[in-house]
Structure 1
Amino acid sequence: MPKAQQTVLEIDLQALKHNFEYLKSKLQSNTKFLAVVKAFAYGSDAHKIAQFLQELNADYFAVAYTNEGVELREAGITKPILVLHPQTVNFKVLIEHCLEPSIYSAKILNEFIDVASKENQTNYPIHIKFNTGLNRLGFSQNETDGIVSKLKNTKVVKTKSMFSHLAASEDLNEKDFTISQILTFKEIAKSFEKGIGYKPWLHMCNTSGILNYPEAHFDMVRSGIGLYGFGNSEKENKNFKPIGTLKTIISQIHTVKKGESVGYNRAFKSDTVLKTATLPIGHADGIGRQYGKGKGFVTINGQKAPIVGNVCMDMIMVDVSNIDCNEGDEVIVFGKNTTAENLAITAETISYELITAVSQRVKRIFTQ
């Protein structure tokens, strides 16, 4: 790729293919693969990513909200799309675009059946979510009989899958808890299938579940962060390729005299003469203020340049006193070598937060 001339997010589709194929290699041939493309495909580009994964024969997609699914349909995605957190106000639109809702409470179940009935639906596919320990969304185990009773008395909807979500699949210190979640889910599934009279697909594993708990792959698995290049452990990170490289350039270089300050609120005051570079990227682009004051850094000509003072809305200043660089030089914020995880750690957060925060005003460039 040519050197950056502005702030851009380069997205490597071959890295995406590598990650997809690596995750698929962990599965039995008949286990379906659901690609999670919510949050603008984890900050990359949901349309392009889903189109590419559809070409690679991903079986299913998942988004958080209905509008994300609508946008995928309008972009030409024809594979089934699961909406993980549908809101009742959007049920009619969801049906109009052939999206499939996660049903996680009695209220949501009753309201979806009501809307689907008014839309003259029969056997509309739904996905029943059970809470097995994450305590975020989902029916409890003791609600199983009530759900079964409700579903047996309607032809408006039909359960395509039932699923749950692992709370700590990446943390092997929590292995006992994860195994207890898996066993609880199996118990619920057995009771649900017996009551309903047919077998829906079962799915529970996220990326770390795929890697660490093959016994819980069931009929389908769901991967988000792994597709984008992160394995949630030092060992597994080596098997993945981050797909995104966030680049910018040096707009201007300043010499800061001893005693002078840099940036808003005079958050940095120099105790010596130093050289700073101003970059056209800030918290409106996804680099939060928590990365300022020397915590975060960028890479210029292979060397780390710590962020000086507060992060501005559209700019950051970095210390380049010991770096041979010029205005217009390319700057790597994160990428394949210094990853988003490396940078996120400096602000005591995770790669998920950093990559999904990259603003859509940052130009996306796709490479093969």
Structure 2
Amino acid sequence: MKEILRRTWAEIDLDALAADFQAVRACAGEGAQLCCVIKADAYGHGAVRMAREFEALGADWFAVSNMEEALQLRNSGIKKPVLVLGFTPAEEAGALARFDISQCVFSLDYARELSLYAQRAGAVVKIHIKVDTGMGRLGFCYQDFQRDSGAVAEIKEACTLPGLYPQGAFTHFASADEGAGGDAFTMRQFGCFKELLEALLREGVSFDLRHCANSGAVLDYPLSHLDMVRAGVILYGLYPSGEVRRRPALKPVLSLRSVVSHVKTVYPGATVSYGRDFTADKELRAATIPVGYADGYPRLLSSGGAQVLIRGVRCPILGRICMDQMVADVSALPSVKPGDIVTLIGRDGDGAVTAEDLAAWEGTINYEVVCALSKRVPRVYIKGGKIDSVYNQLV
């Protein structure tokens, strides 16, 4: 791998990405458009390259968290519609219109402010009304048909303000990835959303796009697919939880690799790393690996029983993970030498360490594991078993 420095890198399998996209497309069904969620640098996979791949594969929409992420796509030549799912300062209305970016609108006050700035800019901003049916974050609250009936009038006013075009309406499920345990609340949310849409339709308010299905709902709640689905983590070959019931064959797209930089003997009574948390009770062979929490391999894994793969064999981490380095027990591999590849996420021979493994050791979810990879880790894109390109933010 001469295209990058052999220190620590992430490999992105574009063939796996294409297969996962087609699997998700099949789950979405023929009647729903597919919106690819590529916020947080496409869940650590590289937003621009992922958007280009998805656009070529036939994506209908992209969704991002904020205006900066949307502009990154537009400045990179992405032409498909882009929706900002979160907050954008209303004074950016002119830029939203100029770059053809659709904006989430979550309250009447925000709609009025956005309308004001749109008029000042002589622009029309495409908006998607966000409805809070139970997530409890952003949105016009509509969690109870009677109590929250005032939301109908507020949304109607927001949709008729000058300078705004009501392109879509959406909500977000809180427990669609919890299997049978999430059924009751997910269907309650879906019922609230549908009831609100029908109430708005009676008031003469309609939308081009109605969407509420996140990754969990794409898999388990086909009734909720409506006009468009918003697929996130499943596009990258990761299931949103272990509880989802519909599990198409997905292949993780991202692998994280490093190398052995040094091999040494640790004698009985010797300690390893900061705080001297680990003391050897017998003679060990230990390998230093140039990866740490500044690369996105969390320090919390120090005490979680984390392991890495070297030559297909799982090797436990010794002591605390540092900012730039860590140490693994390679006593089971007497021939290990500097330069050997270390797999932190991914497959090596018959062995595998998954993002779910790291999540379990860390006490988190696979989303956070891949999103946490830092910008100093180059993304190496693989197609047909060969390096296609490298994205390195530092050079």
TM range (shorter): over 0.9
Farther off after superposition, 270-279 or 44-53: 270-279
Corresponding residue of 2:360: 345
In 2, Cα distance between the equivalents of 1:132 and 1:151? 19
Task: Determine the structure 1 residue equivalent to 2:310.
Answer: 300
Distance 1:28 1:236, change over 3 A: closer
- 2:36 equivalent in structure 1: 35
Structure 2 letter corresponding to 1:165: H
Q: Does 1:262 align with 2:257?
A: no
1:312 equivalent among 298, 305, 322: 322
- 1:272-316 Cα offsets, whole Å, 9 max, x none, are 211111111100000111101352111111111111111100111
The answer as to 2:11 corresponding to 1:10 is: yes
Task: State the match for 1:182 in structure 2.
Answer: 190
Give 1:48-63 correspondences, 5 Å limit: 48-63=49-64
- Aligned length, in residue pairs: 366
Asked if the contact 2:82–2:102 (Cα under 8 Å) also holds between the matched residues in 1, the reply is yes
> Is contact 1:4-1:249 (8 Å) kept?
no
Counterparts of 1:150 and 1:178, CA distance in 2: 26
Give the alignment partner of residue 163 of structure 1, picking from 164, 170, 175.
170
Give the structure 1 partner of residue 210 of structure 2. Answer: 202
Q: Which amino acid aligns with 2:211?
A: H
User: What residue is the counterpart of 1:333 in the other structure?
Assistant: 344
The aligned runs of 1:55-94 (5 Å cut-off) are 55-88=56-89, 90-94=92-96
Mark the runs of 5 or more structure 2 residues left unpaired by the alignment: 143-147, 384-395
**Residue pairs, 1:73-222, within 5 angstroms:** 73-88=74-89, 90-122=92-124, 124-141=125-142, 142=148, 143-152=151-160, 154-172=161-179, 173-222=181-230
**Superposition TM-score, scaled by structure 1 size:** 0.95
Confirm or deny: 8 A CA contact 1:7 1:249 kept in the other structure. Answer: yes
| Secondary structure at the counterpart of residue 235 of structure 2 | coil
Task: Tell me which amino acid in the other structure corresponds to 1:228.
Answer: Y
- What is the aligned-residue identity percentage? 34
TM-superposed CA distance for 1:236, in Å, is: 5.4
- Could you list the per-position Cα deviations for residues 236-281 of structure 1 after superposition, in whole angstroms to 9, with x for gaps in the alignment? 5661111111000000012111111101111211122111111111
In structure 2, distance between residues paired with 1:236 and 1:4: 40
**Distance in 2 (alpha carbons) for counterparts of 1:165 and 1:273:** 54
Aligned equivalents of 2:251 and 2:67: distance in 1? 29
1:232 maps to which residue? 240
Offset, 1:59 = 0.3
Using the alignment, how far apart are the partners of 1:302 and 1:352 within structure 2? Answer: 25
Contact 2:233 2:239 (8 Å CA) reproduced: yes
Q: Is the 8 A contact 2:119 2:162 kept in 1?
A: no
Q: Secondary structure at the match of 1:30?
A: coil
Native 8 Å contact 1:268 1:293 kept in 2: no
8 Å contact kept, 1:230–1:237: no
Question: CA deviation digits over 1:49-94, x for unaligned, max 9?
Answer: 0001011110000110100110111111010100111221544433
Structure 1 match to 2:375:
360
Q: Is the 8 A contact 2:115 2:162 kept in 1?
A: no
Distance apart, 1:106 and its partner CA: 2.2
Taking structure 2 as the reference length, the TM-score comes to 0.89
Letter in 2 for 1:149: E
Give the residue type in structure 1 aligned to 2:195: E
Residue 253, structure 1, aligned to residue 268, structure 2: no
- What SS does the aligned partner of 1:227 have? helix
> For 1:322 and 1:27, how far apart are their aligned partners in 2?
46
Which AA in structure 1 matches 2:328?
V
Q: Matches of 2:291 and 2:370 in 1, distance apart?
A: 14
Q: Structure 1 251/90 Cα, relative in aligned 2: closer, same or farther at 3 Å?
A: farther
Higher-RCO chain (CA-CA 8 Å, sequence separation at least 6): 1
CA distance in 2, matches of 1:74, 1:299: 39
Provide runs of 4+ in structure 1 moved above 4 Å. Answer: 1-4, 233-238
- For 2:370 and 2:26, locate their aligned partners in 1 and report how far apart those are by CA, in whole Å: 25
Secondary structure of 2:294 counterpart: helix
Q: Structure 1: where are the runs of 5+ without partners?
A: none
Equivalent in the alignment of 1:241: 251
C-alpha RMSD of the superposition:
1.8
Q: Which deviates more from structure 2 when the two are superposed, residues 176-185 or residues 81-90?
A: 81-90
- SS of 1:148's partner is helix
In the aligned structure 1, how far is the partner of 2:247 from the partner of 2:312?
21
- Matches of 2:299 and 2:204 in 1, distance apart? 51
Superposed displacement of residue 155, structure 1: 3.5
Aligned equivalents of 1:150 and 1:242: distance in 2? 41
Cα distance in 2 for partners of 1:149, 1:75 equals 36
Stretch moving more, 32-41 or 257-266: 257-266
